[in-house]
């Protein structure tokens, strides 16, 4: 599960990535939101997503999935980084 910054242009930057759980299993239907906006996308059955973010100086993605802790990631200037969501211990009564 890695996000890859593919490029930036006048249209904005395109971000692709993969969301998995602690066991590297893909999380289909995870939500990826551009922080501070209503721009969202969801992961496919393999945990992959792709989205274009316009006019953001320091774009931050908020990744969420029911039963897991939300995570935030800055994508400006980052070529690749790994995202693993951890189970929410409160949600699962741990």
pLDDT digits (tens, 9 = 90+) for 43-88: 999 999 987 766 677 788 899 999 999 999 887 765 456 689 999 9
CATH class of the structural domain 2-82 = mainly beta
Q: Is 75 in contact with 57 (CB distance < 8 Å)?
A: no
- Sheet harboring 60-64: ordered strands across? 40-42, 31-34, 60-64, 71-74
**What is the reported pTM?**
0.76
């Amino acid at each position: 599960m890695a996000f890859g910054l593919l490029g930036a242009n006048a249209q904005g930057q395109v971000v692709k990535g993969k969301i998995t759980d602690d066991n590297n299993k893909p999380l289909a239907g995870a939500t990826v939101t551009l922080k501070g906006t209503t721009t969202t996308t969801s992961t496919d059955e393999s945990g992959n997503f792709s989205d274009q973010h316009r006019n953001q100086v320091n774009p931050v993605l908020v990744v969420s999935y029911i039963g897991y802790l939300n995570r935030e990631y800055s994508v400006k200037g980052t070529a690749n980084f790994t995202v693993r969501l951890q189970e929410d211990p409160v949600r699962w009564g741990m």
